[in-house]
Amino acid sequence: NAGVTQTPKFQVLKTGQSMTLQCAQDMNHNSMYWYRQDPGMGLRLIYYSASEGTTDKGEVPNGYNVSRLNKREFSLRLESAAPSQTSVYFCASSLQGVVEAFFGQGTRLTVV
Amino acid sequence: KQEVTQIPAALSVPEGENLVLNCSFTDSAIYNLQWFRQDPGKGLTSLLLIQSSQREQTSGRLNASLDKSSGRSTLYIAASQPGDSATYLCAVTTNAGKSTFGDGTTLTVKP
């Protein structure tokens, strides 16, 4: 029972490099989310997808893009990484927006 | 803008003690409140979810209460164990599905 799977678990990027964080869920959930977690700032929503084919900005979308590839997969892309994007990134999913959310194990990203 | 505050930021107790973690929120127009556990270097695991129409939820040694009118929730842990050591986060969700998280309380239970 995999739940929400994120890849990679760790990544080090140089400033200006690009990368895509992958997320997949096997619970047939409609809604998927990308958060970042920073010390003293809690979890902040970057983007979310209420259903397949839709995406919306969250609280801190600048510097990121997302793709809801299909119902299972929701990717987060950093086009030109900056040190301010050093963080732990979590993907989450829920059956619909207002019910229990399930989280992946996180991706620890360092931008140098 | 919804703000969620968790007090204390850190708590250390001896094994066996009962304890209460607090969560307060500024906008009472919520759909539900969820308590999570986060172990170091890991993701969030859902512990309890309370709908806005409910007053409390229980799971084993955990009991969460919700007072929507005063903007408060508590997580009660009975007979604490070293395995309960973790960071506990609360999150409130609006009718539109937007969730706001607190910064968490880091609990250490000493053997």
Write the DSSP assignment of A12-34 as a string of letters.
EE-TT--EEEEEEESS--SEEEE
Give the tens place of pLDDT for each residue, B3-45: 999 999 999 999 999 999 999 999 999 999 999 999 988 889 9
Instruction: Please tell me which residue of chain A has the smallest CA distance to B89.
Output: A42
pLDDT > 70: percent of chain B: 100
How confident is the model over B47-102, as pLDDT tens digits? 999 999 999 999 999 999 999 999 999 999 999 999 999 999 999 988 777 889 99
Question: What is the predicted pLDDT for the residue at A54?
Answer: 92
Q: Contact at 8 Å (CB) between B49 and B105?
A: no
- Amino acid, single-letter form, for residue A26: D
pLDDT tens-digit readout, A57-104: 999 999 999 999 899 999 999 999 999 999 999 999 988 766 778 999
Residue of A31, A41, A105 lying closest to B42 (CB–CB): A105
Give CA A64 to chain center in angstroms. 10
Q: Is A69 on the interface with B (CB under 8 A)?
A: no
Contact B65, B55 (CB under 8 A): yes
pLDDT for A40: 75
- Per-residue pLDDT averaged across A34-55, rounded? 90
Residue B45 with chain A: CB contacts under 8 Å: 103
Q: What angle do CA B76, B79, B81 make, to 5 degrees?
A: 105
Token output for A42:
């809690």
Tell me the residues of B at the A interface, defined by beta carbons under 8 Å apart: 4, 31-32, 34, 36, 41-46, 49, 89, 91, 93-99, 101-104
Spatial distance between the Cα atoms of A61 and A74, rounded to a whole number of angstroms = 15
CB pairs < 8 Å spanning A and B = 55
Question: What percentage of chain A has pLDDT greater than the value 90?
Answer: 81
- Which pLDDT score, from 0 to 100, does residue A21 have? 98
